[in-house]
Amino acid sequence: MDIPSSLAIISLAALVHASFQLSVSVLTLLSGHSIGAKHSQARLLRLTSSFLLGAAAMTVLLLSFISLMLIQLYGNITPQVVWAAACGLSVAVAVCIWLFYYRHDKGTALWIPKAIAVYLNDRTKATKRSAEAFGLGLSSVIGELLFIIAPLLISALVLIQLPSVWQLTGIAIYTVISLLSLLIVWVLIGSGHSLGKIQQWRESNKYFLQFVSGAGLIVLVVFVYTVEIVGSSVGFH
């Protein structure tokens, strides 16, 4: 696969990752607790920036870890069966997203293990320092691992085929794009927008976001399957 196509796949996978909402929910709650506790705007920005850095760090770590595991297992040439398995897993995740992503109640509660939701809720309330917010950012990415595993796996499979410099570029592109939704909310909160309006928008559009996440993943799978499996079967490479 050529470099532009690889980077396009990584970008699309990162966009799918960006459409997942757990970190955005945690960021919204964290900001709400911080503003409600009459913390200064500077402290609010410190906390939210640390959260963002935590989420970025965990995304880089996860993507690097999965890539390293794949390199250790298969080297630079991934067997087609692994591509097929990754595509199958991604389709399953996409179907799960369409069926279960949001709980069928009011609000934006997600279909993640209750213990994780309670833990994140409690930690968000207890977070007072930047280091804690950083840790919360790390945990929130882990909390949605069930869903982000699909775009991460496909990106890792694409990344390991690239030359070293482009691998780093790919990781950077994935991280920045996957944080886009968090960055947008961070800018909105930092510029004084009401959390109520942000949360209202998220709730009103939650089923649209759910559909887009699943559909994005399906499009990604179709593209990857066509290039990597169908393409190589007909001698495209």
Partner 1 sequence: MTLSVDVIKRGGQRQSEQFMREKLHTSIVATCLSVRVPTGQAESIAHSVCEAVIAWLQQHPEVTSQDIRIIATKHLRIQHPEAAYLYEQNRITI
**Contact positions toward partner 1, by CB under 8 A?**
22, 25-26, 28-29, 31-33, 35-38, 105-110, 117, 120-121, 124, 192, 194-197, 199-200, 203
The whole-angstrom distance between residue 7's C-alpha and the CA centroid of its chain comes to 17
* Residue pair 151/159 in contact by the 8 Å Cβ criterion: no
Q: How far is CA 190 from CA 30, 99, 186, in A?
A: 13, 34, 6
Give 65 or 201: the residue with its C-beta nearer to partner 1: 201
Q: How far is CA 104 from CA 40, 128, 168, 207, in A?
A: 36, 32, 40, 10
Give 31 or 167: the residue with its C-beta nearer to partner 1: 31
- 102 — phi, psi (to 5°)? -100, 145
Which residues 6+ apart lie within 8 Å of 231 measured at CB? Answer: 237
Smallest distance from the beta carbon of 41 to partner 1, in angstroms? 11
Smallest distance from the beta carbon of 106 to partner 1, in angstroms? 6
Smallest distance from the beta carbon of 132 to partner 1, in angstroms? 17
| CA atoms of 114 and 171, how far apart (whole Å) | 31
* Residue pair 67/156 in contact by the 8 Å Cβ criterion: yes
- In this structure, which amino acid lies at residue 27? L
Smallest distance from the beta carbon of 18 to partner 1, in angstroms? 18
Give 18 or 70: the residue with its C-beta nearer to partner 1: 18
Smallest distance from the beta carbon of 151 to partner 1, in angstroms? 21
Give 136 or 220: the residue with its C-beta nearer to partner 1: 136
Smallest distance from the beta carbon of 127 to partner 1, in angstroms? 13
Give 81 or 115: the residue with its C-beta nearer to partner 1: 115
Give 22 or 221: the residue with its C-beta nearer to partner 1: 22
| CA atoms of 9 and 13, how far apart (whole Å) | 6
